Structure 1
Amino acid sequence: MLDTARFAETYNRQGYLSEVPIIAPQEAAQYRAELEAIEAARGPMHYKAKMHTVLPWVWDLVTHPNILDTVEALIGPDILLYDSEFIIKEPNTPSFVSWHQDLTFWGLSDDAQVSLWLALSPANAQSGCMRMIPGSHTRGVWAHETSEDEDNVLLQSQTVKGVDEEAAVLCPLEPGQASFHHGWTLHASMPNESTDRRIGFNAQFIAPHVRQTKHDHDTALLVRGEDRYGHFKADVAATESFGAEATQCWEVLNKLHVDTQGAR
């Protein structure tokens, strides 16, 4: 059983958790196989939003009790799933993630949010695992500069300059382990210099009182507890793999997600 009381104390102090056991390595390998079969059939799935609306096994994964129990300890018993996607670095490629805070351009009204990053392949120093700045979530919003860098995974290549690299902590993960980080925690990752793909499953959870400030069209889906606010339109969990109607809706949702994060 997970020590969620300890998780909450650590998370509140340092702004993240790491090496949290979620699923067995064999299960991670099976989910990786499922993903790569979809990629073979439909093309790259990197950074595609709302994957739980088109893949039932993603819905099963994102509602795993070990995930939701941890999230509940961090943001409370009422939980909305805001997004789910895969973040993939191909082997021996220059892709990287610059120092940034997740919430900078999301338009959310509150920081009652937590990001899950679950390893489906080894995430270590060589493959470009995440680095965190402990305690950075307590210093509010840091200034970000935007640019166009094709090697930067972030949509706007948003970057915080002048970060103390010596304060950075590596967060390596074995397949099946996860990290959870606060939306204001500074984090980054280096290129994948290994011979294997670095595959992470990323999901965003928010408390229901949080709302979108940029527009009135954003979506989410209740995964635990109660939504007494109704700030978001409701996503629909997938019941079949890329069903025709769900796929049409997903394409619209993915574009909306990208446009929302890209708007200033």
Structure 2
Amino acid sequence: MSMMESAAASTVAETFARDGFVCPITVMSAGEASDYRRQLEAAEAEYGADKTFRKMLRRYPNLVLPFIDEITRRPEITDVVAKILGPDLLVLDAPFFIKEASTKSFVSWHQDLHYWGLETEEEVTAWVALSPATAESGCMRFVAGSQNRRVDHRDTYAEDNLLTRGQELAVEVDESEATDAALQPGQMSIHHGRVFHASHPNRTGDRRIGLAIRYIPARARQTEGGNMAAMLVRGEDRYGNFRACRPPTGLMTEADIAHWTEIAGARNKVMLGGKAG
């Protein structure tokens, strides 16, 4: 690593520690992002009528879609995350957050780690844009420094909320304190699992497509009774604190769908108290 690259990595780590998020970070070309979007939309065209497939896009799509597994392993992404979490990285999940054009879908103010069943606060979400994520299309919004707070949440199950439980902070957030994390295709933001974040509806004529990759260090532990799985994507796992996921063998293969069903069911018991979601 050159001195310039080392300084840049240090700046990212310092900004992350201070603000709880960093953006934008370019991790692939616009052409590569466009190709990944093409693969997603081809899969949607073939399997999108299946209710289970639509759930797969929101929970462990990296188990059934090879191009998602590929994105989670890209060194342009994992090298940045490793500067914060260390060299041995697991992916806890990699859900899509898709807002269709001119729709009411939104994400309420929340903290990710409130629901994830982890003992550790060490977590980085890499939110990778496959389409423009702007203020108009409902990009992510963060409140700098809020990762240092612990706030109760309430479940709303609001119809247009993209979160599984419609969870939201049990405190009011001053919107004037928030920063828009605008991204172009091929760019990402990274954020801490405790930082306040939300997003508004998409008011544009194009879909807003983002992949939220949840990275944790291999040393991370689950809360008591946890039975979640995670995918090793960088380095090695010397701890075995999570059941190991396996990479997909192809596009929506029967064996991978069975693997997804087992893994997602265990996660639901943590996230939803055993409810389907």
TM-score tier (shorter): over 0.9
**Which residue among 131, 145, 152 is the counterpart of 2:154?**
145
Pair 1:49-2:59 in alignment: yes
Distance 2:33 2:75 in 1: 15
Query: Moved runs in structure 1, 4+ residues, more than 3 A?
Result: 44-47
Count the aligned residue pairs: 263
Distance 2:258 2:13 in 1: 39
2:35 corresponds to: 30
Q: Which runs of 5+ in 1 are unaligned?
A: none
1:40: how far off?
0.7
Distance 2:28 2:199 in 1: 23
The question of whether the paired residues in 2 share the 8 Å contact of 1:49 and 1:253 is answered with no
Distance 1:247 1:189 in 2: 31
- Any idea what the Cα deviations from partners look like across 1:103-158, whole Å, max 9, x if unmatched? 0111111011110100000000110000000000122x112111221111111111
Distance 1:214 1:201 in 2: 29
**Which residue among 218, 222, 225 is the counterpart of 1:208?**
218
Distance 1:214 1:127 in 2: 39
Which range is displaced more, 148-157 or 27-36? 148-157
RMSD in angstroms over aligned alpha carbons?
A: 1.6
Equivalent positions of 1:85-124 (< 5 A) are 85-124=95-134
Question: Scaled by the length of structure 2, what TM-score is found?
Answer: 0.91
Pair 1:12-2:17 in alignment: yes
Which range is displaced more, 242-251 or 113-122? 242-251
The question of whether the paired residues in 1 share the 8 Å contact of 2:249 and 2:256 is answered with no
**Which residue among 237, 240, 249 is the counterpart of 1:230?**
240
Distance 1:48 1:99 in 2: 19
Amino acid in structure 2 at the alignment position of 1:147: T
The question of whether the paired residues in 1 share the 8 Å contact of 2:27 and 2:187 is answered with yes
Q: Which runs of 5+ in 2 are unaligned?
A: none
- Any idea what the Cα deviations from partners look like across 1:135-191, whole Å, max 9, x if unmatched? 00122x112111221111111111113112111000000000000000100000000
Distance 2:260 2:92 in 1: 14
Distance 1:29 1:7 in 2: 26
1:167 corresponds to: 177
1:90: how far off?
0.6
- Any idea what the Cα deviations from partners look like across 1:34-89, whole Å, max 9, x if unmatched? 00000011116465211221122111111001111011011111211111121100
Pair 1:156-2:165 in alignment: yes
Question: Scaled by the length of structure 1, what TM-score is found?
Answer: 0.95
SS at match of 1:20: strand
Amino acid in structure 1 at the alignment position of 2:30: P
